[in-house]
Amino acid sequence: MPAPVTLAQIVSRLGGRVVGEAQTLIRQVGSLERAQPDQITFFASPRYKAMLVATRAGAVVLAAEAEALTARPRIVCENPYAYFARVSRILNPSDAPQPGIHPSAQVAASARVPASARIEAGAVIGGNAVLGERVWIGAGCVIEDGAAIDDDSRLYASVVVNRDCRIGARAILHSGVVIGADGFGVAPDSGRWIKVPQIGRVLIGDDVEIGANTTIDRGAIDDTVIEDGVKLDNQIQIGHNCRIGAHTAMAGFSGVAGSTDIGKHCTIGAAAVILGHLRLVDHVDVSAGTVISRSIHQAGTYTGMFPFDDNASWARNTAQVRRLSELARRLRDLEKEVLKGKKNG
């Protein structure tokens, strides 16, 4: 456990300013609701004002407009959540790999493994595979022939990186991730399916994190590309020949069909589905559960379990959908009145 830090020390490293006792000692982070006096929390939304008033935290990270809402020691900054994340990284640093190759690991003679790498029990490193400095390969991982993993990347237990795929620097791949399995390429022929060889690779940039049991298929011809800074949650499927733009984030259970190009700085909500051969421009936000069935050429938020639309139009249409039963009843009553009028006429 790292040594506790004062608010003054935090601000000296991360910026911002302290209001109140700058020597307040912080040992860990905590939530507004449950933080203890030796913990720091953050406040980023007015709806949690009551929790802020009641918190027992030793200090709070908040924005300037919320500075007067508490008398507790506080750090004032522009982006409280991001600042809190950086504080948590100070108090909870990542483990450094202890170099070495476990006796039960299998490392091909032609593989390039630096002395600073760690390879745990049962891992397999294939021929001509290349590991960078301080790469950490967890138990039971398989790195196939010709694959490459750059400096300071960590693969948790049971990750598979298939042949010739590339992982950038400082990547984090959680357990069960499969990089470079064959894409779903089959051609119909007289009632049968003919497998199309998948000869592309998967290329993953720097600072990418991929959640547990997520799968990214290799390209059929061209490469599947995950650009720098992309964050993928658990149990996501990325089809062959896709490109995910830099710093895009995707939540769990979302899926992208083959040959789709998603722009930079996009967000894809949980269980969203993006059909194949589409293009999403930069800064598109797809709400949870939405099915994207056509390309999106304008930045914005798109929502809907029934056919999606721009968010404002979707909200108006949804309001009408909620009134369908009432409108149907009124229509029936009107029809009765019309029929009654005809009989009386």
Residues 291 and 186: their CA atoms lie apart, in Å, by 24
What is the 3 state secondary structure string of the chain? CCCCEEHHHHHHHHCCEEECCCCCEECEECCCCCCCCCEEEECCCHHHHHHHHHCCCCEEEECHHHHHHCCCCEEECCCHHHHHHHHHHHHCCCCCCCCEECCCCEECCCCECCCCCEECCCCEECCCCEECCCCEECCCCEECCCCEECCCCEECCCCEECCCCEECCCCEECCCCEEEECCCCEEEECCEEEECCCCCCEEECCCCEECCCCEEECCCCCCEEECCCCEECCCCEECCCCEECCCCEECCCCEECCCCEECCCCEECCCCEECCCCEECCCEEECCCCEECCCECCCEEEECCCCCEEHHHHHHHHHHHHCHHHHHHHHHHHHHHHHHHHHHC
Q: Would you tell me how many other CB atoms lie within 10 Å of the CB of residue 280? A: 25
| Residue 297 known to be catalytic | no
Task: Say which of 174, 240, 283, 297 is annotated catalytic.
Answer: 240
- Cite the active site residues: 240
